[in-house]
Amino acid sequence: MEHVLEKSWQIPNQLPAMSAAAQEVFGWLAQQPLPSRVKYSVGLAVEELITNMIRYGYDDDKEHIIRFRIVIHPDYLEIVFEDDGHPFDPTGYPPPDLEHIVSSSRAGGLGIQLVRKITSSMTYERDGNINRNTLRIRRMEPGDTQVIRLNL
């Protein structure tokens, strides 16, 4: 039987709540026997996707709940995000226009692409009014030589 470890969070759609949850995620991951690169990748994915949900997922000022869980499997980590925001499939989001980003005075635009680069798989489904994004990050053991290419 596969041994897994799982932890779940639910937060309101507010940036301070995301920041607090990200700190909890990093604290929980610090206690797990995982390589630093995996811990960083999971934290980056949590911060990027939840920030996008909060900033772009809702047209109203009502409180919405964002749920996510991290499951540590022997060979990979899985992160499942659920929100009731606008339908949005990040797997179909076009690659960023780097020239535009560099010449723009507005920050941002690379988050989804970075998350794509650090994951081994990224899936999306819409279940009723719920977006469900599932990411897998390969669990790397000490001495692993996996290269994460960030050439966008």
pLDDT in tens, 21-43: 999 999 999 999 899 989 999 99
Right CATH number for 5-138 from 1.20.1050.10, 2.40.30.10, 3.30.565.10, 3.10.580.10? 3.30.565.10
Q: What is the pLDDT of residue 114?
A: 86
What is the overall mean pLDDT for the chain?
86
Token pair 């041994």 in the structure block, residue: 3
Q: What is the pLDDT of residues 62-111, one digit of tens each?
A: 999 999 999 999 999 999 999 999 999 998 877 766 665 556 655 555 77
32 token code pair: 């797990």
Residues, the chain: 152
Which amino acid, residue 120? S
- Map tokens 């899936």 to a residue: 123
